[in-house]
Amino acid sequence: MGTFFSEQGWLCLTVTAVLGATILCRFKKSQGQVGRKVVCLAGLWGGACLLSLSLFWGSILFSLSCFLLYTYFSGQELLPVDQKAVLITGSDSGIGHALSKYLDELGFTVFAGVLDGNGSGAEELRRTCSKRLSVLQLDVTNPQQIKDAHSKVKEEVQNRGLWALVSNAGVLGLPTDGELIPMTDYKRCMAVNFFGAVEVTKAFLPLLRKSKGRLVSISSMGDIAGTSDMWDKLEKNILDHLTPDVQKDYGQDYIHKERSFLKLIKTSGEADISPVLLDIQHAISAKSPFALYAPGKMSYLWLCFASCSPTGIFDYVSKKCHSYGRHMPRALSTPNLKNETM
């Protein structure tokens, strides 16, 4: 009996090793960061199985896990480019600009929507990319520009349809207290980041349906840092809209130092955005794309923490993170302020 189970154990270990090696080979061909997370979790799961169960049942369970992972990764193979057309909004700079170049290099037909068709970003795309890339004047808050862009794309793709729409255009105001942010900034944020994305999507859905293609929406926890000139304009806009009482309670020094968070993003953020580009490529090209991607160090863990942690704990951690290097408003840092002004 002991010999039988020993032979069974060695057989299971052999099967496990073969399946594990196959998974690793499949993993090397996979794109993006999510695949890495899945493989890491599978390794932890397999180790737990072998440690907590007998050799026989642990090997059986781990082998089954490897088989399921192999099936899973089979759906992550990338489809051929095959003249697929992709529209990207917000291609003037940043992720949209880099993605337009990247997909053009891969052989996609790229429509790069830009806010300023005569700007430096648009000119660089025209100069450096292939003839497959077309620069489109596309302000996502302008219905007429959306309509014109749709007509041009429809004329170009004909019966092929549009394979993917990447809604990337977005704006970021100065991250500060809600009381300080002018209503114009709130409305601008919603106009670009929400209503603009919805209107563009509604316009191009018929072309996506024709190709049975993909809709990719990009949201960011801080890819947009901006420049010092932009920070000056955002800061001036806030100060120009404050009432005297609110400005007295917060103090100009507090408002001037609010830009430190954007400086932190700019200096501590990863300059290499290739993980983002790989994940978007996977979302566009994989046989079975994921519902959610979280490229970047610790981003997935942070999303899990934000989704699962109790509100009190999340608020405490978030407050600690956002108060790093920041100062208190004048009214809170000077308790006797009201008595002094009376």
Measured CA to CA, the distance from residue 229 to residue 214 in angstroms comes to 36
Rg (CA), the chain: 26
- Cβ proximity of 85 and 163 under 8 Å: yes
Give the pLDDT confidence score for residue 249 in this predicted structure: 86
The answer to whether domain 85-322 has CATH 3.40.50.720 is: yes
Give the pLDDT confidence score for residue 315 in this predicted structure: 84
Phi, psi of 302 (to 5 degrees): -65, -40
Helices 34-52 + 55-74 axis angle, to 10: 170
For the chain, the structural domain boundaries read 2-74, 85-322
Q: What share of the chain is helix, strand, coil (3-state, %, to 5)?
A: 65, 5, 30
User: Per-residue DSSP letters for 170-187?
Assistant: --------TTTS-HHHHH
Measured CA to CA, the distance from residue 122 to residue 120 in angstroms comes to 6
Give the pLDDT confidence score for residue 134 in this predicted structure: 96
Phi, psi of 111 (to 5 degrees): -110, 110
Q: Where are the beta strands (DSSP E) in 177-277?
A: 214-217
Long-range contacts of residues 109-112, Cβ cutoff 8 Å, at least 24 apart? 109/83, 109/84, 109/85, 109/133, 109/156, 109/157, 110/85, 110/86, 110/134, 111/85, 111/86, 111/87, 111/136, 111/149, 111/152, 111/153, 111/156, 112/88, 112/136
Measured CA to CA, the distance from residue 153 to residue 140 in angstroms comes to 15
- Per-residue pLDDT of the chain (342 residues), as tens digits, is 444 445 555 655 566 666 666 655 655 555 444 555 555 555 655 665 555 556 666 666 666 766 666 666 666 788 999 889 999 999 999 899 999 999 999 999 999 999 999 999 999 999 999 999 999 999 999 999 999 999 999 999 988 999 999 999 998 777 788 888 899 989 999 999 999 999 999 999 999 999 999 999 998 766 866 677 777 788 888 888 888 888 888 888 887 777 776 776 666 666 788 999 999 999 999 988 988 898 877 788 888 888 888 988 988 887 777 665 556 777 776 655 545 544
